[in-house]
Chains A and B, each alone.
Chain A
Amino acid sequence: MKFTRSSGPYWRPVQDVPAMMRHVLYALAPAAAAHSFFFGPGLWINLCVAGITALATEAIALRLRGAPLQLHLSDGSALVSAALLALCLPPLLPWWVTATGTAFAIGVVKHLYGGLGLNLFNPAMAGYALLLLVFPAHMTNWLPPHVDDLDYQALSLWQTLQFTATGNLPATLGLDAVTGATPLDVLRTELGRMRTLTEIAADPVFGDFGGRGWEWVGNFVTLGGLWLLYRGIIRWQIPAGMLAGVLAGSLLLYLADPQTHASPLFHLYAGGTLLGAFFIATDPVSACVTDRGRLIYGAGCGLVTVAIRSWAAFPDGVAFAVLLMNVLAPLIDRYCRPRVYGTG
């Protein structure tokens, strides 16, 4: 009897790249729901704009590179980048801002470097960084969280759509009336005015330990992250390293001067710390590969995030911290190679 030949191993489980990417998207769903609960429907619009732009850019880039279209379009990696970027963007954002960031992330950061697996930088964070530089004003237009006792004017889906489409709100609404600064921004601005933290923390955007609303979004991000850990899609080293880095860095500053530095818990829940730790810094392509390297890489992301928040003029430090560590990742890996069996 004749049989087909092939090389082994002949058995492997099916946890392939598309499945991994699908799970990342599922894991983001609770956080997205919480986000839109507190900050309105803008996130869904941004997600749509980013998703469509990402797929279109991916298709064009694949075509130009002569790579198999169907295989890579269906791997889900572009959608994950798009979703992560959208989750970092302000909920009220003209569509072309979102589209520019996404197209840059996929077209330049991912595909100019050779496509999936070869990009040096995290596409979502590179896209975010570009938008901060090119559209700084838009990028700080955050919305106040929808919590009962807070004075805010909620935007309807229709009003949000109008703004996204045109960049202008309906004439009856003033941008100033509906937008607010993020807690991180409030902190920076007020610290700049020489106010103490005790005074600043009385601002209604601050909750028990982080920003109001943000605390809840953070909890749901963590939930998704834990699920990814449980499914074995991410491993613990990078999240643990990054959270430890943020906590340790902010604790040191806080202990040095609690009146000019926010508490470690505030930093944990502020901005993109949790999203960064579980979803962004864990992007395997641009991170370290070895276990020890991942701990160091994560810790670096955390420490640099705190440093940027404390001393630089950006709304949040996560994006630049991750990008900086992306550059260092290969170097860190070099020094963290495990000792091969039977050597040295």
Chain B
Amino acid sequence: MADAWTFNARPPRPPWGVHVPSHKAATRAMSIRQAPLPPVAHLSTPTAAVALVSAGDCVKSGQPVARGSDGCALHATISGTIAAVSTSAGGQVDVAIDSDGRDEWHDSCVPCKAPLALPPRELRRRLLDGGIVGLGGALFPSGLKLDSAPRVRALIINGAECEPWITCDEILLRERATQVVEGARILMHAAGTVHAVIAVETDMPEARIALHDALATSGDDRIGLAVVSAKYPAGGERQLIEMLTGAEVPLGGLPGDVGYLCQNAGTAAAAADLLLLGRPLVSRIVTVTGGGVAEPGNFEVRLGTPLAMLVAAAGGYKGVPARLIVGGPMMGVAQPDDAAAVTAATNCVVAALADDIAPAAPEMPCIRCGDCVQACPARLLPHELLAASRQGHADALRDLHLDACIECGCCDYVCPSMIPLTAAFAAAKAARRSRPS
């Protein structure tokens, strides 16, 4: 047994963050439904990669079609024929697959009999081969994350889904808590740690109970359960680590630097699917919601399915949506149309009616009310960062630690002067990246 490790199972409500109307009631009790197979699946690697197939090839579901330079594989999510393969300027590989409608599985998709008996290194390789990436939005390959973490004290499974509207992790925890727990055990083994905690929020009691039962059934007493405040952004990786352990991830560093490995609950379930069911990452759960969808719900969707098809599975549009947002209303991205495909990072699609989004309001000058300072989870001074961003004052931006901004949108949310602070910070970061220094 390694050294003892304790965590805060009921951290107090944080001083930072904001209370956002959750809108989760629309979908939190909606059982996971299977979305229909797409006639065409569009897949892309998140990083530079080499294609393993070419146009005209026949592929089966779960067959590797590309391998990233980082070693992480991308798999066909349906069976059929490769319609097109292309490589973008950045080296990312795009693959389009025409479905044959049969969804036949590739031979390589076989369960592993005893994953916990494998050496951790082998397990990490299998995670890379299975294309398991962070489903919380980072898309970082789990196998790699495990390799790069020097010494993992504890694994943190993040089920604290703090963004409004989104319930994909909550429903996963409610309906497939066992998969999440099994996944956590696999990831613990792969990380070589004997400590783990699964974090949920105070407003998801059913998920907590399901997890509690699953943990009791598994009999694995190395995995703890923590309930954190439902204040946004309590589920942010850095915020969660701070609340559970008191440790802070150093600026510019990774959780591994302080001995923690954070994985999304969906990622843990995907790891269990890979090793126990033999399914590489071909699907994920997506919440489809918003006033502009006829039948909001949670869908298990093959990656590469066009958003339009996913919305159709949810009964189609209702009324005239003012925005189509991928992700939540705080950190999501408004889409120009619904042609884009579901990726491993797509946790939610919100078709927002005009009522669901804030009306455009004229920007007033900053009155230094300090509300943004209070709300910022990174303890930044957003009002000063704003002035520095707008003046392009590089030294001031560095002094004020622009890099610590996680673009959570809390400062915007509270600003009485309706200043688009987060957009300004994102632009300032982009400007800094593009400038050679």
Question: What CA separation (Å) do A79 and B4 show in the bound complex?
Answer: 61
Nearest chain B CB to A30's CB is how many angstroms away? 23
Query: For residue A14, which residues in chain B have a CB less than 8 angstroms away from its CB?
Result: 358, 361
Interface code A261-288, partner B: CB below 8 Å = 1, 0 otherwise? 0000000000000000000000011011
In the complex, chain B residues whose CB is within 8 Å of the CB of A235: 370, 374
Question: CA of A30 to CA of B321 in the docked complex: distance in angstroms?
Answer: 45
The reply to whether the CB of A136 lies closer than 8 angstroms to some CB of chain B is: no
Q: Which of A9, A284, A337 contacts B331 (CB 8 A)?
A: A9
* Stretch with Cβ within 8 A of A (4 or more), from B47-55, B71-79, B115-123, B243-251: B243-251
Min CB gap A239→B, angstroms: 14
A132 at the A/B interface (Cβ < 8 Å)?
no
B28-36, B270-278, B377-385 - interface stretch: B377-385
Q: A284-B367, A290-B373, A341-B248 are in contact. Are A3 and B338 (CB under 8 A)?
A: yes
Do A11 and B20 have beta carbons less than 8 Å apart?
yes
Q: Quote the shortest CB–CB distance from A322 to chain B (angstroms).
A: 15
Known contacts A1-B317, A17-B416; is-contact A8 B331 (Cβ 8 Å):
yes
Q: Which residues of B contact A193 (CB under 8 A)?
A: none
Binds A, one of B82-90, B129-137, B167-175, B322-330: B322-330
- Contact status of A16 and B416, CB under 8 A, knowing A2-B337, A284-B367, A290-B370: yes
Given the known interface contacts A343-B401, A343-B404, the answer about A75 and B329 at a Cβ–Cβ threshold of 8 Å is: no
By beta carbon, the residue of chain A nearest B253 is A342
Residues of chain B within 8 A (CB-CB) of A116 are: 364-365, 367
Interface of B is mostly: loop
Cα separation A12 to B381 with both chains bound (whole Å): 19
Contact B368 A117 (CB under 8 A): yes
Q: Which one of A17, A338, A342 lies within 8 Å of B373 (CB-CB)?
A: A338
A341-B404 contact, Cβ under 8 Å, with A10-B323, A11-B20: yes
Chain B residues proximal to chain A, CB less than 8 Å? 20-21, 164, 238, 242, 248-253, 308, 317, 321-325, 329-338, 352, 356-358, 361-362, 364-370, 373-374, 377-381, 383, 400-401, 404, 409, 412-418, 420, 422-423, 426
Tell me whether A8 and B333 are in contact (CB under 8 A): yes
Which residues of A are found within 8 Å of B381, using beta-carbon distances? 289-290, 337-338
* Contact sample, A vs B, 30 pairs, CB 8 Å cutoff: A2-B336, A3-B322, A3-B323, A3-B338, A4-B323, A5-B323, A6-B323, A7-B422, A7-B423, A8-B330, A8-B422, A10-B334, A10-B357, A11-B357, A20-B369, A75-B364, A117-B417, A118-B365, A235-B374, A284-B370, A289-B368, A289-B370, A291-B374, A338-B379, A339-B379, A340-B251, A340-B401, A342-B248, A342-B253, A343-B251
* B340 nearest CB across to chain A (Å): 11
List residues of chain B with CB within 8 A of the CB of A71: 362, 364
- 19 other A-B residue contacts (CB within 8 Å) besides A8-B325, A75-B364, A288-B370: A1-B337, A3-B323, A4-B322, A7-B422, A7-B423, A8-B329, A8-B331, A9-B422, A11-B358, A12-B412, A16-B417, A284-B369, A290-B381, A338-B379, A339-B379, A340-B378, A340-B401, A341-B242, A343-B404
A17 to B369, CA, bound (A): 10
Residues in A whose Cβ lies below 8 Å from that of B334: 3-8, 10
Would A9 and B366 count as touching, CB distance under 8 A? no
Contact indicator A341/B329 (Cβ below 8 Å) = no
On chain B, the residues within 8 Å of A284 by CB distance are 367-370
Closest chain-B Cβ to A284's Cβ sits at a distance in Å of 4
The complex places the Cα of A137 from the Cα of B278 at a distance, in Å, of: 91
Contact B413 A13 (CB under 8 A): yes
Is residue A172 contacting chain B, with contact meaning CB distance below 8 A?
no
Give the interface of A toward B (CB within 8 A). Answer: 1-17, 19-20, 68, 71, 75, 77, 115-118, 235, 284-285, 287-291, 294, 337-343
Residues of B near A19 (CB, < 8 A) are 416
**A-B complex: 4 closest residue pairs judged by Cβ atoms:** A117-B365, A9-B409, A342-B251, A7-B423
Q: Cβ of B377: which chain A residues have Cβ within 8 Å of it? A: 341
CB distance from B360 to the nearest CB of A (A): 8
- Pick from B164, B352, B361, B401: contact of A16, CB under 8 Å: B361
From B329, B365, B366, A10 is in contact (CB under 8 Å) with B329
Closest Cβ of chain A to B332, distance in Å, is 6
Find out whether the CB atom of A9 lies under 8 angstroms from the CB atom of B370. no
Task: Provide the residues of chain A in CB contact with B374, threshold 8 Å.
Answer: 235, 291
Closest A residue by C-beta to B330: A9
Tell me the complex Cα distance, A16–B369, Å.
11
Instruction: State the CA gap A290–B317 with chains docked (Å).
Output: 45
In Å, the complex CA distance between A109 and B209 comes to 60
Contact partners of A337 in chain B: CB under 8 A: 381
> Would you call A8 and B332 a contact (CB within 8 A)?
yes
Which residues from B are CB-within-8-Å of A338?
A: 373, 379, 381
> Most chain-A Cβ atoms within 10 A of its Cβ — which of B242, B333, B336, B369?
B369
CB proximity of A20 to chain B, nearest CB, Å: 6
Give Cα A2 to B368, complex, Å. 38
- In the assembled complex, the Cα of A132 lies from the Cα of B249 at a distance in Å of 54
- Which chain A residues lie closer than 8 Å to B335 at the CB level? 3, 5
Partner of B352 from the list A5, A10, A118, A341 (CB cut-off 8 Å) is A10
Candidates B323, B366, B400, B418; contact of A117 at CB < 8 Å: B366
CB–CB A3/B238 < 8 A = no
**Closest chain A residue to B236 by CB distance?**
A341
Q: For residue A204, give the distance in angstroms from its CB to the closest CB of chain B.
A: 43
